[in-house]
Amino acid sequence: MIKHIVSFKLNGSEAERRDVAQRFKSALLALPEQISVLRSMEVGINENPNEDWDVVLTAVVPTMADVEVYAKHPAHVAAASIVGPFKAARACVDYEF
């Protein structure tokens, strides 16, 4: 199995970033029902005002090839379009467990 962990730093006011993060979270949490290779999805919105990153997601898929299947799926592309215009930075780690 592969864990796909992605963190996002967003642009905008605190209220804008929180709104985008909430909409992004809702869209991501709907993905396991839409993408067959996606075993689970967890999304966290940063609550610590002393930290710079806004959102983190942890997805689980069976293989590294499935990370690409997930990434290119139209439902994932639609979810990513929510955060895209506000994305200041993205960091990703994929590892086998």
Q: Is the pTM of this model over 0.85?
A: yes
Backbone torsions φ then ψ of 39, nearest 5 degrees: -80, -35
Residuewise pLDDT in 10s, the chain (97 residues): 999 999 999 999 999 999 999 999 999 999 999 999 999 999 999 999 999 999 999 999 999 999 999 999 999 999 999 999 999 999 999 999 9
Sheet holding 55-61, edge to edge: 40-45, 55-61, 2-10, 87-96
Q: How far is it, in rounded angstroms, from Cα 84 to Cα 70? A: 17
Q: How far is it, in rounded angstroms, from Cα 73 to Cα 75? A: 6
Give the CB-side neighbour count of residue 95, counting CA atoms within 13 A: 6
